[in-house]
Structure 1
Amino acid sequence: MPIQILPARLANQIAAGEVVERPASVVKELVENSLDAGATRIEIDIEKGGAKLIRIRDNGCGIGKDELTLALSRHATSKVSTLEDLEQILSLGFRGEALASISSVSRLTLTSRTAEQSEAWQAMAEGRDMAVKLQPASHPQGTTLEASDLFFNTPARRKFMRTEKTEFGHIDEVIRRIALSRFDVDLVLRHNGKQVRQYRAGRLPSQQDKRLAAVCGPAFMNSALKLDSEHHGLRLWGWLAPPSAARAQPDVQYTYVNGRMMRDKLLNHAVRQAYGDRLPAEGHAAFVLYLALDAREVDVNVHPAKHEVRFHQSRLVHDFICQVLLQVLEQQPQPEPPLRVNTDTGELEQPLETTASAADRSATRRESISYQAPRHGYGGGLSARESRPSAVSRGEWQGIDGLLTTVAAEQNTAGQKTASSPLPTPYPVSSTHDTAVPPAESISGQPLLLIKERGLVVLYRQGLWLCDLDRARAYADGLALLEVWQQGLTPQPLLLPIRLALDVKQQAALERHQPQLQKLGLELKTAAGDTIILTRVPQPLRHADLARLFPELLARLERETDAEPAALCQWLAAQGRSARQRWTMAEAIALWQQLQPDMPDEPPFLQPVAIEQQLDRWINGD
């Protein structure tokens, strides 16, 4: 077959395959044309899910009579005319393919009137012949475009359309996205003559909140964190749901670049990286984010449907978005659920019981407790400020008791029966309380059970303890920071410098502790008045809430005990670490072994498991 120029109708059919995927694509292209025309009210009428009729009516500037026929031609547009225009696109449409593509697969009628014309004119094009008929019509200023019988001349395309309900659902989602991109425009959506959506225009924040709640739901509106940040020509604003408000489906995820709705991979990756492991395993983030930047810094001419863009400084954009979202999320610390033991799964599903139930107590009277592991007390003792936790339940203790007995039996089988063995051999039962009597020597640290992938049950100093793995990791990180304390921590630049206003007392503390701040890797400069600007911080604080933490750091430096290098390094490590969702047993054991050589007398990450009082109540039938 020789090389030849494609006929116009065939070229439009090929273009339609890219632009007109389904009725929702037609609605998107036509509504964006109305927005480019300056419309403040747009009405969308749909019949049979868009297969029978799509009608878009607006009050924009309209199209002149002389341009109606040209508007239905391929590559005809009023939005770009030179290469320079293509390099800084501000309009939503610019290819000049939408109307020609739509008219090639439907019966299209375009009616419009400009402010200068005394009457409206109507252009009609149908199918492959592309012949345009022009006639006078009655119409107010603005444009109405009707596309009926979509894919009537391409049966192969039509059979890929889904049910009426499914196709209208996609149209509804398109209008929802557009409604969030232009709060200043009235949008009305009807299906089969019935009004389904009406988004009233609003410029006030309260009116915008109403539209946001109408699109994303009241639950998102009530929990969302509002953000607005600007840096070096980049501005990010919008709403972000905290991890505690994660959704079961990714149905509230809207991103916009210069007012254009996007499904861009770079933007989505930045959001995912900001959330990190804060989200639950089956949860999805919810957000409505708007990115504004110089039009010359972004190329929107990379996708036929304009769903993706290319940033000239993609790394800067990615890090800017990630950093802003991280700062917002760090300002919302999530409360840690209490650690609770479950015997069957090793997970903590219910609060620790403070008393045994009547059924448990009666069952205890009937049963003889086979308790062969040593009776664990509180071992190394508690500091004065710590209190004993609630006692574990009978069922929980039996699970731990069984585990201790099993591990002890395995140790015996292996022949490890010396006094230095990590686990002692079973001891004879006391006749008084049916409880084992421990020997005098201490029990070495031994990991036993991973609880809800966050806590580790360990034997330590003749006691049963619960190790908070996140706090233990922060403690280990603090030890590592302490090793490089003498050389000073390495400062790293902030993508967004932090401005802080200090009172007189804080300014005095700042002057007194300037050497310590430099050794901590904090670099700052003074601004006008009582304001300082943080420009560099150590790695542990790069993603922390510095506006809250810096005044706290100054207060710690004023207190002699907290200003010690070890205390400061522990504090830094704790601020720079976010709680992990899950630990594996291998990771937990590795961390526990890492901590053994430098274990303090009162480890801040260990919590004694109170079982003695509970056992006494069971035995005595209280």
Structure 2
Amino acid sequence: MPIRILPPQLANQIAAGEVVERPASVVKELVENSLDAGAGHIEIDIEKGGSKLIRVRDNGSGIAEQELVLALSRHATSKITDLDDLEAINSLGFRGEALASISSVSRLTLTSKTAEQSAAWQASAAGREMQVDVRPAAHPVGTSIEVLDLFFNTPARRKFMRTDKTEFGHIDELVKRLALSRYDVSWQLTHNGQSVRRLKAAVTDEQRQKRVAMLCGRAFAGQAAFIENRYGDVRIWGWIVQPQACSAQLQCQYSYVNGRMMRDKLLNHAIRQAYGDSLGPEQQPAFVLYLELDPRQVDVNVHPAKHEVRFHQARLIHDFVVSALADALAQLRPVAVAAAAVSSGYAEDHVREAAGGGYRAHGGYQAHQPAAARVNRELSYWQHSNNAGQTDTAAQKQIAATTADTRLAKPLIARNRYLLQQHGDDIVLTDLAASMAAYCAAQHISPVPLLLPQRLKLDREQTLVLTQQAGMFSAAGFDMVLTDDTLIVRAVPDWLRHTTLSHWLPLWLTQLAQSPHDNPLFCLLSMLLNANGLDAARLLESCPQLTADAHRVSVPLQLDASIAFLQEQIA
């Protein structure tokens, strides 16, 4: 047979076989386009499980009239322009195949308006050669896409569709995953005219936690611990359920890489390995985790539906995830064991060890997993190698900004506890533990309610300390109720909201019982900052006045001697 170029519609239908698996696949592609367009509100209307109608409407930037025809063409995209863009993709879409593929197996209508246009325009694809008809329309700034009669011209594909209930269940699950990837977007989902989900934009930490509880269930929210771990520009954060709370039923298992939802085999293997023997063969891990790294270090162009990625340093990323999560899970051990460790002096030694490490994890003050030091060294080498060819690293830029401006420069944070700032030729060193303790003692701190009140069992000594220091706790921003030996914590100061309360509070009370004359807040801040249980940068964000009111140690040093001075002060 002679070699021929395929007709456009046939080529698009072949591409649709990879991209459009079912109605949920269409919703995914359309919503990702909305997110890439900067939408802050997305409405999704479904009829008959998506087989009759899929409509996605957003308030994004819109598509210009002269680009509507191009938007429905294959290999047309605004996301990338050259090979360099392909190697560092920040957008969700980039292939330029979705709209052309969808329009080849449905009746698609695209209506859009940009802020610069006086009127909206509507485009629809029809005919064997996929001609696009463009006409004026009424529409606010943004885009609406209607997909009617999915697979109407491909009967074989339509036969594989399940019931309307099943297909909509896949769409609802997809919207849950998307809503957990973008807390700053408000979402609305309807099916056959009935509202199914209505989510407001979540801009505060409390609102984000409420969204997690709403989408993953209160059981998940009640058992999951917030974790955060970072080394250089590689960061993992989110919520993970401790092993004893995991069940055989499949719960929330959502992972994201640079905001892109994933079902990546490497990540799933790393998460399961982090649980180790603490998880039985019949138990399923539960998590909502976000991995962030340099886009140049991850290739998203390896799967048509973009469900999987390829890490350039796959083994290293795998080990980082295992080490970070295993460390966090190990710190979720019973409080009684941790308290016993404090009384024996074990935890104090390892607080100092943690203070010297490169990890930042909320909660727990134990030694890191044995692999953590190795992972740190390899990450450091990897990131140093990546930056070797650059003339300005982040640190160089920060030093340059300090030397170029004689005013108070942006502070450098060392050991997660000390601030290094410059006033002209003077170096100012600030101990955040002492400064924050003095700051809290000087004014009344407003409590911030917890999403779910924490219940803790206290022993006799801890209860005694709590009653003796009741005034201090109230002034520092705590709202607590003590009933017999059970403490109910309803609110904490804003700077403690992201810490693991159930871990450090019993340790703190035990420490105060053993050293009743110590400053309580200084003891708490020293313990949290030294063990990376409280992020110094987040502490400064919640208390911006702290740098102005801090207890400072000033010495007349030149900038080139600042590093040696800092090492001497915090060694």
Is the alpha carbon distance of 1:127 and 1:106 closer, same or farther for their aligned partners in structure 2, counting shifts above 3 Å?
Answer: farther
1:207 counterpart residue number? 207
- Give, in angstroms, the shift of residue 232 of structure 1: 2.7
Q: Equivalents in 2 of 1:314, 1:54: separation in Å?
A: 37
Post-superposition shift, 1:40?
A: 0.2
> Do the aligned partners of 1:225 and 1:328 also contact (CA within 8 Å) in 2?
no
Kindly provide the CA deviation profile for residues 409-435 of structure 1, in whole angstroms up to 9, marking residues without a partner as x: xxxxxxxxxxxxxxxxxxxxxxxxxxx
Distance 1:116 1:326, change over 3 A: same
Which residue in the other structure is 1:105 paired with? 105
**CA apart distance, 1:290:** 0.3
Measure, in 2, the Cα distance between the counterparts of 1:496 and 1:249: 35
| Distance (Å, rounded) in 1 between the aligned partners of 2:118 and 2:204 | 36
Q: 1:203 to 1:135 in 2, by over 3 A?
A: same
Q: Secondary structure at the match of 1:319?
A: helix
Q: d(CA) in 1 for partners of 2:371 and 2:200?
A: 50
- Please list every run of at least 4 consecutive aligned residues from structure 1 whose deviation after the TM superposition is greater than 6 angstroms: 525-531
Report the CA distance between 1:126 and its aligned residue: 3.2
Q: Which residue of 1 aligns with 2:460?
A: none
Cα 1:203–1:527 change in 2 (3 A) is closer
**Among 373, 377, 381, the residue aligned to 1:493:** 373
**Cα separation, partners in 2 of 1:526 and 1:67, compared to 1, 3 Å:** closer
Q: Provide the rounded CA distance (Å) in 2 between the counterparts of 1:526 and 1:241.
A: 26
Alpha-carbon distance change, 491 to 4 in structure 1, aligned in 2, over 3 angstroms:
closer
Amino acid paired to 2:257 = V
Separation in structure 1 between the aligned mates of residue 8 and residue 38 of structure 2, nearest angstrom: 30
In the TM superposition, residue 280 of structure 1 has moved relative to its aligned partner by: 2.8
What residue ranges of structure 2 are gaps of 5+ in the alignment?
337-369, 378-414, 419-428, 433-502, 512-571
Deviation at 1:494, TM superposition (A): 4.2
Aligned to 1:7: 7
2:292 alignment partner in structure 1: 292
Q: Is the 8 A contact 2:8 2:129 kept in 1?
A: no
Q: Please state how far the C-alpha of 1:493 moved relative to its aligned partner.
A: 3.3
CA distance in 1, matches of 2:127, 2:269: 42
Structure 1 CA distance, aligned partners of 2:325 and 2:163? 39
**What's 2:38 paired with?**
38
Secondary structure at the aligned position of 1:266 is classed as helix
Q: How does 1:598-617 map to 2 (within 5 A)?
A: none
Q: What's the RMSD between the two structures over aligned residues?
A: 2.4
- Shift in Å, 1:526: 13
Deviation at 1:248?
2.5
- Say whether the 8 Å CA contact 1:38–1:60 is kept in structure 2: yes
Corresponding residue for residue 146 of structure 1: 146
* Distance across 2 between alignment mates of 1:129 and 1:320: 50
User: How big is the shift at 1:128?
Assistant: 4.2
Partner of 2:130: 130
In the alignment, what sits opposite 1:55? Answer: 55
Counterpart CA distance in 2 for 1:493 and 1:239 is: 24
Deviation per CA, 1:70-120: give whole Å up to 9, x if none: 100000000001000000000000000000000000000000000000100
Question: Does the C-alpha gap of structure 1 residues 23 and 78 become closer, same or farther in structure 2, counting only changes over 3 Å?
Answer: same
Alpha-carbon spacing, 1:161–1:233, altered in 2? closer, same or farther (3 Å): same
Structure 1: gaps spanning 5 or more residues: 337-489, 498-524, 532-546, 556-622
Q: Distance in 2 between matches of 1:313 and 1:288?
A: 23
Q: Hey, what's the Cα distance between the residues in 2 that align with 1:59 and 1:100? A: 22
Tell me the alpha carbon deviations over residues 536-557 of structure 1, each in whole angstroms, 9 at most, x when there is no partner.
Answer: xxxxxxxxxxx99xx9xxx9xx
| Contact 2:7–2:129 (Cα < 8 Å) also in 1 | no
Counterpart for residue 437 of structure 2: none
The residue number in structure 2 matching 1:221 is 221
Structure 2 equivalent of residue 164 of structure 1: 164
Counterpart secondary structure, 1:145:
strand
Asked if structure 2 preserves the Cα contact closer than 8 Å seen for 1:105 and 1:127, the reply is no
TM-score (norm 1): 0.55
TM-score of the two chains, using structure 2 as the length reference: 0.60
- Which secondary structure does the structure 1 equivalent of 2:277 belong to? coil
Equivalents in 2 of 1:205, 1:527: separation in Å? 23
1:66-465 superposed matches below 5 A: 66-126=66-126, 128-333=128-333
Kept in 1: contact 2:13–2:104 (CA 8 A): yes
Aligned equivalent of 1:435: none
Instruction: Describe the SS at the equivalent of 2:239.
Output: strand
Cα distance in 2 for residues equivalent to 1:237 and 1:335: 23
Q: Tell me the SS of whatever aligns to 1:183.
A: coil
Question: Could you tell me which amino acid in structure 2 is paired with residue 272 of structure 1?
Answer: R
Per-residue Cα deviation, 1:35-56 (whole angstroms, up to 9, x for no partner)? 0000000000000000000000
Q: Return the alpha-carbon distance in structure 2 between the equivalents of residues 221 and 215 of structure 1.
A: 10
Q: Is the Cα–Cα contact under 8 Å of residues 224 and 241 in structure 2 kept in the other structure? A: yes
Structure-2 change in CA distance of 1:116 and 1:228 (3 Å): same
What is the deviation of 1:32? 0.3
Larger radius of gyration: 1
Aligned counterparts, 1:562-581, within 5 A: none
Amino acid across the alignment from 1:134:
V
- Do 2:112 and 2:139's aligned partners in 1 also have CA atoms closer than 8 Å? yes
* Letter of the 1:294 counterpart: D
